[in-house]
Amino acid sequence: MGSSFELDPVDWITAGAIGPPGGRTFYVQARRGHDLLALVVEKAQVQWLAQLAQELLARVGVTVTPDDLDANAQQLREPVVPAWRAGSLSLGTDEEGNRFLLEAEELASADDDDADPGTARLWLNRDQLVAMAAYAAFIVEAGARESCRLCGRPIDPVAGHVCPATNGHGPLTA
């Protein structure tokens, strides 16, 4: 299975995506010195990360606003070479809300029952969390596909979509 990483503290961190809407791959990426770590995550994990970060920051009186978004500074850095796919993420803070810990554990595959999953522990400060939360929320919304006005399901920009409301024969999944 994967390697374990401890970046204490990170110099920079983001949660971003590569690819067209409907076909994006999401990542958490962090840098410390010359070490650049990327982990594959799910869109829902990025969305959860943005929400939880905002909740933790609100507890210490910090509100994430659109003014906190610096899309240029938060874009993924090339090369994006993931160490592994994250199965779980957790985010916590110290009592003062000055240091935050993002922990990730590798998604275990059925073939690797005996191996220990990779782990990543990424320590960040309040400003880094604000920047990551603002960009993560932006990147999740930026890829939102247009919804069908009849059935509400997403429309793939390339393949279109089969709408059950217009012909009654489409599958009930997107």
- Which residue, 10, 48, 36, 39, is CA-closest to 124? 10
Query: Is the entire prediction scored with pTM above 0.75?
Result: yes
Per-residue pLDDT 10s for the chain (174 aa) are: 779 999 999 999 999 999 988 889 999 999 999 999 999 999 999 999 999 999 999 999 999 999 999 999 999 999 999 999 999 999 999 988 899 999 999 998 777 666 789 999 999 999 999 999 999 999 998 866 566 777 766 666 666 677 777 765 555 555
Closest by Cα among 31, 30, 33 to 15:
30
Question: What is the spatial distance between Cα 65 and Cα 69, in angstroms, rounded to a whole number?
Answer: 8
Q: What is the DSSP string of 17-57?
A: EESSTTS-EEEEEEEETTEEEEEEE-HHHHHHHHHHHHHHH
- All structural domains of the chain, each given as residue ranges with its CATH number in brackets, are 5-143 (3.30.2450), 147-174 (no CATH)
* pLDDT value of position 130: 97
Instruction: Report d(CA 167, CA 116) in Å as an integer.
Output: 50
pLDDT value, residue 172: 56
